[in-house]
Amino acid sequence: MSNSYDVIVIGAGPAGYVAAIRAAQLGLKTICIEKWRNAEGEGVNGGTCLNVGCIPSKSLLDSSYKYYEAKNQLGVHGISVGDVSIDLTAMVDRKNKIINQLTDGIAGLFKSNGVVSLFGNAKLLSGRQIECVTHDGKTQILTADNIIIATGSKPIDIPVARVNGATIVDSSGALEITETPNRLGVIGAGVIGLELGSVWNRIGSKVVLIEAMDDFLSIIDQQIAKETRKIFTKQGMDIRLGSRVTGTKVKGKEVIVTYKDSAGKETKEVFDKLIVCVGRTPYTEGLLSPDSGVNLDERGRIFVNEQCETTASGVWAVGDVVRGPMLAHKGSEEGVMVAERIAGQKTQINYDIIPNVIYTHPEVAAVGKTEEQLKQAGESYNVGVFPFAASGRAMAANDTDGMVKIIADAKTDRILGCHIVGPSAADLVQQIAIAMEFGSNAEDIAMTVFSHPTLSETVHEAALAVNGHAIHMPNRKKRG
C-alpha cells in the first residue's frame, strides 16, 4: 500500500465516504480511513448513520408503524387481520440485514471508484501526516496534499444517568432492544428521543419523555411544534417539559429516575428501560496531535470557515464534527464541496436551505426561517397554512393529522420557509427546498399545476393561502 496520496479522508460516514468517492471521481488518489467495527469485530464503513443512526432507526420506525397500523388502523378500511403480534428479534434482524447491505454497498462503491479503504484509528500529525494504527495493530504514516476530517459525532453522556448497556442505554443501545419494556423512560424530547420513543410507544410501551427545556422542539417553528406535541400526546406519549433529571438508581431490572419538574417539585419514576438522548457531541478523541495546527471552537467542534477549511493548510473538516446542524445530508454535501474545491472547482453550499426532518408518524419537516426568527429580525412576512384534514388524499389514506405552513416575504413574496407536520412531510418539504434554491416566490408555487388527488396539493394550497387565495379553506387576513 502506498503511503502518499492526493487526499486522505478520516471517517467513512455520509460526509467521509461521499467526499472520498467524489475526490476519486475527480482523478485524485484517495484513501479513506475508518475505525468502526461491527459486532463481529470487523471493520465496516458507513459511520453512525448507517450502523447505529439514520438507517437502522428508520428501519425500526417503519417496522413498528406497520405493526401499529395492522393492529389499530386497518379496520377503518374494512380489513380484518385477527390477532396481530410482533417478533422483536426478527425486527432487529431485519434492521441488521439492511445495515449490512448498505455498508457492503459502500465497499463496492469504493472499489468501483478506485478509493483505497483502510480500517484503523487515525491521528492527524503536523505537516499533513496521518498516523494510522490498523485494526491488526500495525502502525503506518501516511501523507497527503489534502486531508478531510469527517469523524462525526457520538452520544452525549450525562453523569446523572450513566449508560450501563442494560437498563440504561444510549441511542445506539436502544436499537438493540428485543423485549418490549412495560414502562420506557426517555431523557430528551428532541429528534432522537421522539423517534425512539415513538417506536416503543407503537409497540406497546408506556413512554415518558423527560425534557429539561420549557419549550417543546424549540428549534422549529412553534406553531408546528405545538401541533406536533398535540398529535404525539394523542398517540399516548407522555411529554414532560421543564423537567431536569437529578439522579438515577438501578435496582434489579428496573431504573429509578429522579427529576425536578417545571414547578421545582422532585418526582420519581420507575422504568424497565431508560434511553438517554440528550444530544450528540463532535468526535475528536485521539484525533489531533498538539502540533496538528487544527483548532477547536468553544463547543469542541473543529473550527472551519464557510468552505470547511480548518486553521491548518490543506486540512479540511466536514459533517457533524464542524459547525451547523448534525445532519447526514448536510455532511454529504460538504464532502462533495470540499472534494470539488480540492480539485479546483468553486463549489459552494447554500446553508440557508438545508431541510431538517423528524421521522415520526406523522413526520415533521422544515426548511428555511421560522416565524419566530423573522419576528425577532423584524422582517415583514405573510403566512399560508393548510391542514391535511382538508386534503382528499389524506382522508382517503386515513392520515389527516397535521398541516403545511409556508412563509413568504411581504414585499417580494419570495419564500422564506416551509414547515410541515403530516404524512410524507419529508418529501413534501423538499419541493419547497428546490423552489427556494431557485429563488421562487409563493405565487410561483400557487400558479403551478399539482396532480389531484395528492398530498402535495397541501403545499399548493398553503402557497395560495400566503396571499389569501386558498380555494379549499377559508382565507385568513394577510399580514401587513
Q: Which residues are catalytic?
A: 452
Q: Scanning the structure block, which residue is given the C-alpha cell 487544527?
A: 294
DSSP 8-state secondary structure symbol assigned to residue 37: B
Closest CA to 15 of 319, 223, 446: 319
Outline where 250-391 has alpha helix (H). 328-342, 371-377
Give me 22's grid cell.
Answer: 467524489
SS3 420: strand
Beta partners for residue 93, in sequence order: none
| Residue 326, CA distances (Å) to 308, 314, 382 in order | 15, 24, 30
Q: Distance between CA atoms of 349 and 138, rounded to whole angstroms?
A: 38
Q: Is 427 exposed, middle or buried (0-12, 13-18, 19+ CB in 10 A)?
A: middle
Beta partners for residue 365, in sequence order: 357, 420
Closest CA to 156 of 10, 319, 279: 279
| Residue 405, CA distances (Å) to 121, 122, 126, 383 in order | 46, 45, 50, 7
Q: Scanning the structure block, which residue is given the C-alpha cell 404525539?
A: 232
Closest CA to 361 of 245, 197, 129, 476: 197
Beta partners for residue 383, in sequence order: 407
